[in-house]
Amino acid sequence: MTIEHFSDDIRLTILLTGGRAPVTLELARSFHSAGHRVLVAESARYHLCRVSRAVERSFQVPPPNENTKSYLDAIESIVTSERVDVIIPTCEEIFFIAKGLDRLRRHCTVWAAPTEQLGELHDKWRFVLLAERLGLTTPQSKLIRTREEWQALAEAERLNDDLVLKPAYSRFASQVLFLAKEHSHAKRRQVLSNIISAAVPKTPWIAQRHVYGRHICTYSVAYEGDLIAHAAYPCQYRVGQGATVYFKPLEHKAAQKWVRKLVKAIRFTGQIAFDFIEEEDGGLYALECNPRATSGVHLFGEDGGLVQAFLRPQELRESGAVLTPKPSNGAMLAPAMFASGIGGIRSFRELRSWHQAFRSARDVVFSRKDMQPSVEQLRVLIDAWRTSRARGIKLVHATTIDIEWNGDA
- At 158-202, the pLDDT tens digits run 888 899 999 898 876 667 888 888 888 788 888 888 777 765 667
229 beta partners:
221, 323
| Residue 7 C-alpha from the chain's centroid | 29
Q: Where in the chain is the domain with CATH 3.40.50.720?
A: 11-112+371-409
The domain defined by 140-209 carries CATH number 3.30.1490? yes
- pLDDT, tens only, 126-158: 999 999 999 999 999 999 988 888 888 888 878
Judged by average pLDDT, the poorest of 65-74, 94-103, 124-133, 156-165 is 156-165
Which residues contact residue 78 at a Cβ distance below 8 angstroms, ignoring those fewer than 6 apart? 15, 39, 41, 59, 61, 84
Q: How far is CA 213 from CA 174, 219, 280, 291, 388, in A?
A: 20, 20, 6, 24, 34
pLDDT for 33 equals 94
Judged by average pLDDT, the poorest of 112-121, 171-180, 293-302 is 171-180
Q: Where in the chain is the domain with CATH 3.30.1490?
A: 140-209
Q: At what angle do helices 348-360 and 334-344 cross, to 10 degrees?
A: 180
Element holding 142 (H helix, E strand):
strand 141-144
Q: What DSSP assignment string belongs to 88-122? A: EE-STTHHHHHHTHHHHTTTSEE----HHHHHHHH
pLDDT for 191 equals 83
pLDDT for 174 equals 64
The C-alpha atoms of residue 8 and residue 3 are separated, in whole angstroms, by 15
pLDDT band for position 409 (cuts 50, 70, 90): very low
The C-alpha atoms of residue 29 and residue 364 are separated, in whole angstroms, by 11
Contacts 24+ apart (CB under 8 A), 186-191: 188/153, 188/154, 188/155, 188/156, 189/154, 189/155
Q: Which SS3 state, helix, strand or coil, does residue 39 take?
A: strand
| Residue 314 C-alpha from the chain's centroid | 25
CATH of domain 212-363: 3.30.470.20
The number of beta carbons lying within 10 Å of the beta carbon of residue 213 is: 15
Q: Is residue 116 predicted with pLDDT exceeding 90? A: yes
The sign of the CA dihedral 204, 273, 235, 50 is negative
The C-alpha atoms of residue 256 and residue 22 are separated, in whole angstroms, by 24
Cβ atoms of 400 and 92 within 8 Å: the answer is yes
pLDDT for 152 equals 85
The C-alpha atoms of residue 228 and residue 88 are separated, in whole angstroms, by 16
| Residue 233 C-alpha from the chain's centroid | 14
Cβ atoms of 112 and 97 within 8 Å: the answer is yes
Q: What is the dihedral of CA 103, 107, 113, 118, to 10 degrees?
A: -40
pLDDT band for position 279 (cuts 50, 70, 90): very high
Q: Where in the chain is the domain with CATH 3.30.470.20?
A: 212-363
Query: Higher confidence at residue 17 or residue 150?
Result: 17
Look up the CATH architecture of domain 11-112+371-409.
3-Layer(aba) Sandwich (3.40)
Which residues contact residue 207 at a Cβ distance below 8 angstroms, ignoring those fewer than 6 apart? 141, 142, 144, 153, 163, 164, 165, 179
